Structure 1
Amino acid sequence: MKALGELLRSAHIPLTFPHHSAIVTSLCTHSKECKAGSIFFGFQGQSSDGSRYAEEALQNGAILAIVDEEAPIDDHQSIIRVKNPHKTFALMSAAFHDNPQRELKLIAITGTDGKSSTADILHQLLSFEGMPTGLFSTTSIDDGTGKIPSPYRISTPEADLLYSFLDRCRSNRVEHVIIEATSHALSEEYSRLYGLSFEIGIITTLSGDHIEFHGSKEAYLEAKLSLLDMIRPQGHFISSIENQELKRCLRRSDPSIHIHILGRDHPYMVEEDTLHSVRGTFEGRSFTVNLGLSVLATNALLALLASSVITHKNPVELLPQLANVRPLKGRMQSVPNDKGVHIIIDYAHTIGAYERLFSFIRQIRGESRVITVMGAAGGRDKKKRSVLGSIASKESDILILTEEDPVYEDLRAINAMIEEGIASETCRVLEIDDRNLAIAEAIRLAEEGDIVLLLGKGHEQSIQRTNRSIPWDEEKAVLEVIG
């Protein structure tokens, strides 16, 4: 608990509020969770305006409500208007938890694809070195007490949850913390990571995504590249890409930052790529990583460079550790079976991920048939749906369209948009609404040697349908079919 005045000062808000000596018991973004001593934050969302619940929050005991300066509500002595409530929330959350970030070394990983894989591999590499490390990613969290599956559907949490997590990391004597940083979290609109300074910033890949939120590809890229501005002086930036946008941002970034570009500064080559492993060379030395798909090997090498920075060891010295890295759930995850079928679960849901995955499938499939189960999320970028259909159909013999997370959209309408892009006359297309039944049909149709791709859900533990969330486990769904 903290005095209200202390939290107001942390967010640079003048102490004009009459009760600044009051004790704050919690920070809330949901009015129904407010109690005596709470501060309520009414955020402007894409479909609702949280400021409209300020009165309810105050009635439930909140001592203060903080809203946007343009919020369409009446003024009140217990309401403060600010330019960006999300930034205020971040600063107050840090102060409420006694600024744990000041005693931790933070690593942020962003990119269109590969964030979770890179974060998980780096966490493994540091554990090999005997270094307890915090982790908050789409798939897993570890506050220093051991890695567990993430219970959240959000990759980068709101500030109150993030700082509560960092506080636990500090209490558990963790020194380094890996944070998966989404474009939403980095954006000016959400500013979930506002005020943080990173020892290391990593960008995996960059292509267009979440256009429905950012408004344009340029705005999306700007959000991702803003990570460069959050790296501390003398910190490190690591990436495998070198394009004009990145070069422009590097020119404006702190010149004291150490730049590591995989491929340019650290030559590597993939020599053999199979469904279950990748073999290659890094700075002239051989390596093997037990992850299918060469892009996962790239993620592993990015993690290796970060581990090298943290441990102060030459990356070549750490290279043999890649052979010990375990696959991440839902990322090119192979499910053993007695049918002799290659069943692969993968989280691929972006254009870039589809392009890399199906390019790989084209190289290794031989005479095998490819059966793909896919869908597209509702409420997301509709323009990419036909593109995903086009990419998948060119390398699939059978394409089964099903639910991913339809949310409030009509599933048939989503699948119709995917079908608009189907570019192969030889690809057989089926529509099976229920994902369990779609997976069962894909496996039933598969013969020995065939490849079955189950795309879009990966590690996720639920399917979002209209007004309800259905528990889900892709691997379990497969195992129930194959016995």
Structure 2
Amino acid sequence: MKLTKLLERLEYTCLQGEIDKEISGIVNDSRKVTEGSLFFCIKGAVSDGHTYASDVAQKGAAAIIVQEPVEVPESVTVIRVADSRYAMALVAAAWYEYPAEKLHVIGITGTKGKTTTTYMIRSILEAAGHKVGLIGTIEAIIGDRVIPACNTTPESTTIQEYFAEMVKAGCDSVVMEVSSQGLMLHRTAGILFEIGIFTNLEPDHIGPAEHASFEEYLECKSRLFKQCKLGILNADDKHLEEILKGHTCQVETYGFSEKADFRATDTRLVSAPGYLGIDYQVSGKRNFKVEIDIPGKFSVYNSLAAIAVCDHYGVTDENIISALSQAKVKGRIEMIRVSDDFTLMIDYAHNAMALESLLTTLKEYHPKRLVCLFGCGGNRSKSRRYEMGEVSGKLADFTIITSDNPRYEEPEAILADIESAISRTDGAYIKITDRKEAIAYAIHHGQPGDVIVLAGKGHEDYQEICGVKHPMDERVLIQEILAEDAVKKVQE
């Protein structure tokens, strides 16, 4: 593709060389540069792509996009832009022939609920006959192809590549999680979202490698509503007005508020042996009763957002009701049936805020005991261990402290840190380092009416130890434990 074509939607200055030349590929990793490619000099947190300019020139790069001058042979075209990340997003869209313009693109931002809401929307739209791609925290789904995710919102070149594959696979829509980092780093620049969704906002992702402040975090989230046609937002969130500041989209709302366009009334917790759910009446622009197989008030919010989106696709009440009753998300309050006496579930809650929200929700179902099994990752802030230990000690009736991803730390040392916090509460607990043994203990000691939650791993299917990711899926562990129990019974 001609360089002029790639630059057609970009403001730039040509510092040297010709712009009417053929480009063989676009890359931002200097190790992947080949003859005739276009290289983006990205200023990252760890390295600066400008320092590799001469190296990529020697490898045969035909052109380089920069934010500041570099010294390379005159044969290499140098394009200067205000922000090379922003430029990369627009060039990537051009390289893949603007696939977003051939899809209905739905983006979801917020602190919590993004993942579950994407799956709910996809479930409803697919049930109504649409073919829907998905990009999110757990995976990307393109037709029959499932790609494990590295980032909630991938790099712009990857997003555009996925979009192009979705078009080729016959998708008419895509629903994706749009993180604050993704918005800040221009990964979604150049995409006009048909619908943007806001779930909620709480302090998160604030630190040296993420956002400098809560204000910056909020501002980045708000950017989605300056690049979508329709915004569908949580009417009950206290930051709603700030999120909408400067918005350029039409606005609809959902929630419990009487002012919401899509609102929930007559909410009722539903429980049965091995099962927790919630049902409610949808009022406002749509009117019908719905039951969700995922417990908690946040399930109402997530499903209302999905209903509001699907209303714009003309999906029938019957299709919505049926699809929502079957919507499941791996590792998000994922119930695993092991007994008629108690409820066992897996959830990704891996920080204090998420764990507190989860345990508070489950307590509303008045279980005989609320049992929480969790650990904390190694080589991460120790404060997370203390905070999660305190939360579980205060909210759970019994805690099983175990190993998560110890990385380069000793698992016992991590457990000791958690114990130091939980011992300051009135919560009962036990330490079992091996996660499979800990899960077996939870199952074997489950009592009638218990709710047992395995927190922290969620959708992950590995355990990281000393730089190596060993296969470990809690669903597999549970089945192994049940199979071993069955063998023991036969032998007895």
- The TM-score with structure 1 as length reference comes to 0.86
**What is the aligned partner in structure 1 of residue 332 from structure 2?**
331
SS in 2 for 1:211: coil
Of the three residues 293, 296, 303, the one matched with 2:306 is 303
Q: Which moved more, 1:461-470 or 1:111-120?
A: 461-470
Residues 32 and 60 in structure 1, CA contact (< 8 A), matched pair in contact too: no
**Structure 1 position 267 matched with structure 2 position 300:** no
Aligned to 1:320: 321
Matching of residue 252 in structure 1 with residue 246 in structure 2: yes
In structure 2, the partner of 1:123 is: 122
3-state SS of 2:7 partner: helix
Taking structure 2 as the reference length, what is the TM-score of the superposition?
A: 0.85
Paired letter, 1:76: V
- The whole-number CA distance in structure 2 between the counterparts of 1:53 and 1:467 is 28
Q: How does 1:172-191 map to 2 (within 5 A)?
A: 172-187=169-184, 190-191=185-186
CA distance in 1, matches of 2:270, 2:211: 35
Tell me the distance in 2 between the aligned counterparts of 1:391 and 1:196: 40
The answer (yes or no) to whether the contact 1:87–1:192 under 8 Å persists in 2 is yes
Letter of the structure 2 residue corresponding to residue 278 of structure 1:
I
Shift of 1:370: 1.1
Secondary structure of residue in 2 paired with 1:267: strand
Residue pair 1:371, 1:450 contacting (<8 A) in 2 also: no
Which structure has the greater CA radius of gyration?
A: 2
Distance 1:202 1:47, change over 3 A: same
SS at match of 1:40: strand
Where in structure 2 are the equivalents of 1:6-155 lying within 5 Å? 6-69=5-68, 75-77=71-73, 78=76, 82-143=81-142, 145-146=143-144, 148-155=145-152
Q: Secondary structure at the match of 2:239?
A: helix
Distance 1:350 1:231, change over 3 A: farther
SS at match of 1:5: helix
Offset at 1:272? 1.6
| Length, aligned pairs only | 467
Deviation, 1:241, is 4.1
Aligned twin of 1:195: 190
2: CA distance between counterparts of 1:457 and 1:38? 40
Match of 1:288 in 2: 291
Post-superposition shift, 1:462?
Answer: 3.4
Contact 2:23 2:37 survives alignment (8 Å): yes
The 1:18–1:366 alpha-carbon spacing in structure 2 relative to 1, beyond 3 Å, is: closer
Residue 166 of structure 1 deviates from its aligned partner by: 0.9
Aligned to 2:489: none
> Is the alpha carbon distance of 1:24 and 1:408 closer, same or farther for their aligned partners in structure 2, counting shifts above 3 Å?
farther
The answer as to whether partners of 1:293 and 1:332 remain within 8 angstroms in 2 is: no
Deviates more, 1:121-130 or 1:288-297: 288-297
2:355 partner amino acid:
Y
Inter-CA distance 377–243: structure 2 relative to 1 (3 Å threshold):
farther
User: Which residue of the partner structure matches residue 159 of structure 1?
Assistant: 156
Following superposition, the deviation at residue 350 of structure 1 comes to 4.1
TM-superposed CA distance for 1:431, in Å, is 5.7
Name the CA shift for 1:22/1:468 in 2 (closer, same or farther; >3 Å). farther
How far is 1:98 from its partner? 0.9
How far residue 3 of structure 1 moved from its aligned partner, in angstroms, is: 1.6
Distance 1:95 1:202 in 2: 26
Equivalent in the alignment of 2:212: 215
When the two chains are superposed, the root-mean-square deviation of aligned CA atoms in Å is: 2.9
With over 3 angstroms needed to count, the CA separation of the structure-2 counterparts of 1:351 and 1:216, relative to structure 1, is: farther
State the distance in 2 between where 1:238 and 1:320 align.
Answer: 20
Give the residue type in structure 2 aligned to 1:427.
Answer: A
Distance 1:26 1:116, change over 3 A: same
CA distance in 2, matches of 1:358, 1:82: 49
Match of 2:462 in 1: 462
SS at match of 2:344: strand
**Unmatched 5+ stretches in structure 1:** none
Pairwise CA distance, 1:278: 1.4
Shift of 1:169: 2.1
Alignment CA distance shift 1:42-1:370 (3 Å): same
* Partners of 1:6 and 1:75 in 2: CA distance: 25
Is the deviation greater in 358-367 or in 407-416?
407-416
Amino acid at match of 1:296: S
* Offset of residue 277 of structure 1: 2.0
Distance, in Å, in 2 between the alignment partners of 1:405 and 1:110 is 27
Question: What secondary structure sits across from 2:148 in the alignment?
Answer: coil
What is the correspondence of 1:371-390 to structure 2 with a 5 Å cutoff? 371-376=372-377, 378-379=379-380, 383-390=383-390
| Residue 309 (structure 1) shift | 1.3
**Residue identity in the other structure for 1:387:** E
Q: What secondary structure, in the 3-state scheme, does the structure 2 residue paired with 1:174 have? A: coil
Instruction: Give the % identical residues.
Output: 27
- The match for 2:363 is 362
Distance in 2 (CA, whole Å) between partners of 1:178 and 1:369 is 34
Q: How much has 1:408 moved relative to structure 2?
A: 5.8
Contiguous gaps of at least 5 residues in structure 2: 484-492
Q: How far apart are the structure 1 equivalents of 2:21 and 2:446?
A: 66
Encode CA deviations 1:225-248: one digit per residue, 9 max, x unaligned: 22111113xxx2212244453213
Amino acid at match of 2:308: L
Q: Structure 1's 421 and 209: CA in aligned 2 closer, same or farther, altered over 3 A?
A: farther
Matched letter for residue 375 of structure 1: C
CA contact (8 A) 1:139 1:149 kept: no
Letter in 2 for 1:259: E
Q: 1:351 to 1:198 in 2, by over 3 A?
A: farther
Assess if the C-alpha contact under 8 Å between 1:36 and 1:63 holds in 2. Answer: yes
Task: For residue 368 of structure 1, report the CA deviation from its aligned partner.
Answer: 2.5
Q: CA offsets, 1:96-129, max 9 Å, x none?
A: 1111122222110111111111111111101111
Counterpart of 1:349 in structure 2 is 350
2-structure distance, mates of 1:416, 1:81: 53
1:401-423 deviation digits (Å, cap 9, x = unpaired): 34444556675665565455435
What stretches of structure 1 move > 6 A for 4+ residues in a row? none
